[in-house]
Amino acid sequence: MSAVLFSSFDVTRQAFYRSRLTAAIVNLKPIVPGHVLVIPMATRIVPRLADLKHDELTALMTSVQHVAKVIERVYGADGLTIACQDGKAAGQTVPHVHFHLLPRKLQGDPFARNDDVYPALERSEGGLPQALRQAPQASHVDADEDRKPRTLSEMEKEARWLQSFFDAAETAVLADANEAGTADK
């Protein structure tokens, strides 16, 4: 299986979902439990949304929708914050298109004021390129700016766990398609 690159960073071991043109990866410094990224798997670095080809953009948005449904269910969320920081002026620090998916809850959400998630997201992105280059040593998941990067082992464990839900979802989709095909005959 080919490597999953997030800009020039190999994130293959953090990937839990793949389609032909996209991947979903666990986050190095999640803001909330279940904070994941969906990225295009282009053979080039794709800095901005406008740099995607039509089929890549279609596949990316389809994957955002598919991953969002599973993440919301798995984390018992009531909704999701879905964000794309498109360009440096928008807070993007890794020069490769990516969507953040953050499970949110009506009660018990770490952000009492809903829009407080955006400054936290911006702070999260701020040190990401440096953190991706270093071997993370600590794990801490919360909404403060002192979050430490997780270890590769921690991210791999979460990725394998999440992958099991996608394997199950794909099996259910195939079963439904087979049932529909049988019903038509």
Specify whether 98 is catalytic. yes
Q: Which two tokens stand for residue 1?
A: 């299986």
**Tally of CB atoms within 10 A around 76:** 11
Residue 70 belongs to what H/E stretch? helix 54-74
Going by C-alpha positions, the residue among 83, 4, 19 that lies closest to residue 56 is: 19
* Strand ranges in the chain using DSSP code E only, listed in sequence order: 5-6, 9-10, 15-18, 22-26, 36-40, 79-83, 99-104
Going by C-alpha positions, the residue among 57, 140, 141, 127 that lies closest to residue 99 is: 57
Confirm if 140 and 149 have CB atoms less than 8 A apart. Answer: no
Q: Which of 35, 66, 96, 98 is catalytic?
A: 98
What is the identity of the amino acid at 49? L
Task: Give the catalytic positions in this structure.
Answer: 98
